[in-house]
Structure 1
Amino acid sequence: MLHSQTRDARVSHSSLAKQGGVTALRAAVIERLSRALSPSLLLLVARFGIAATFFLSGRTKVTGLLTIKPSTFALFSSEYALPLIPPEIAAHLATYAEHLCPILLVLGLFTRSAALVLLGMTAVIEIFVYPDAWPTHLTWAGLLLPLIAHGAGKWSVDHLLGRSRTTD
């Protein structure tokens, strides 16, 4: 009986040591990742990720370089039908913003302004067009808000021009 209790204690102590080793390893990995993942890298990933989303959306609205498709005008007249803005103007504004703002984000130029425009578009889409798509829109906002709050980071034209405050 005593032998069995001793063996159980050893097994229990051994499993605790393994758990402690795993916890220490996990803490070391997280520490290294947090040093490697500088705020500027995270902002760069956010810039490229949200830029791709909006740019690809803009490309669906045009043929060639920037010729707006007739189907785009039809969508803005029916499905997107925004209050207060005529569909022809809304189609032009959205299409050009979905091309220009992502390019600015990729360059890291006028980042806060470009992100603010896209956040405004996201709010309009959420409120007036697709209110049930809030998980997608919340994801977009989650990428845009840090760009508005912190700017583009070190890897940007804004930083080269001295227009960016960075913390890393």
Structure 2
Amino acid sequence: MFDRAIALWNRLDAGLGAVPAALALLALRIALAIPFWRSGLTKWDGFLNLSTGARYLFEQEFKLHIFGQAFAYPAPLTMAFLAGLGEIILPILLVLGLGTRFAALGILGMTVIIQLTVPDGLINFHLPWFAMALALVVYGGGTLSADRLLGGFFGQRVKGSARPAR
């Protein structure tokens, strides 16, 4: 009986292990892109025009919590503008799998700044975002990515496409 249970367990484990890594990496890219994209949409009132809400938050509300102190953002409108650009451009790159490692690294940096701004969000938001971004920095976009497509188009492997060595 015990041997049959172990054999069943091993078959199920092998079946789950057969799921292509490309699907998991695509799901990670999309899952990480969605919250940043949605946040980015709230920062703009038209093309490159910061919303009133974004201006107010970065100038009045957002503070960097470092060493037990709260510090105002340096150059708050510049920070709002850069955050808004990052929250639009980086998710697009992630979903496409274009420059995946670099886009994920940008999201990783943004997550650290967001954590310093909103320290209470670590467990529910920032830690999962950090883990997803870190996985994409390490493994790249996978075979279902523009990185891989462009590498094949140009006859060479583009770095960051997470293909096993030959």
Determine if the TM-score, normalized by the shorter chain, exceeds 0.5: yes
Report the TM-score, using the length of structure 1 for normalisation: 0.80
Which of 130, 140, 165 is equivalent to 1:141? 130
Output the amino acid matched with 2:18: R
**84 and 78 in structure 1: CA distance in 2 versus 1, 3 angstrom threshold:** closer
User: What is the 5 A alignment of 1:101-112?
Assistant: 101-112=90-101
Quote the offset at 1:57 in angstroms: 1.0
Q: Residues 66-93 of structure 1: CA distance to partner in whole angstroms, max 9, x if unpaired?
A: 5321111000012224556311101100
- Which residue of structure 2 aligns with residue 100 of structure 1? 89
TM-score, with normalisation over the residues of structure 2? 0.81
2:110 aligns with 121
Q: Please say if 1:34 is aligned against 2:17.
A: yes
1:48 maps onto 2:34 in alignment: no
Question: Where is the helix percentage greater, Structure 1 or Structure 2?
Answer: 1
Identity, % of aligned positions: 38
Alignment gaps of 5+ in structure 2: 65-71, 152-157
Aligned residues: 149
What is the root-mean-square deviation in Å for CA atoms of aligned residues? Answer: 1.9
Q: Distance in 2 between matches of 1:77 and 1:166?
A: 44
Instruction: Indicate yes or no: 2:80 matched with 1:91.
Output: yes
Q: For residue 145 of structure 2, what is the aligned residue in structure 1?
A: 156
SS at match of 1:67: coil
5+ residue gaps, structure 1, are 1-16
Task: Provide the residue aligned with 2:154 in structure 1.
Answer: none
The 3 A distance-change label for structure 1 pair 78 and 33 is same
User: How many angstroms apart in 1 are the aligned matches of 2:35 and 2:55?
Assistant: 21
User: Which residue type is aligned with residue 40 of structure 2?
Assistant: G
Which residue identity does 1:26 align to in structure 2? W
Within the alignment, does 1:167 sit opposite 2:155 as a pair?
A: no
Partner of 1:24: 7
Does 77-86 or 105-114 show the bigger shift?
77-86
Aligned equivalents of 1:132 and 1:125: distance in 2? 10
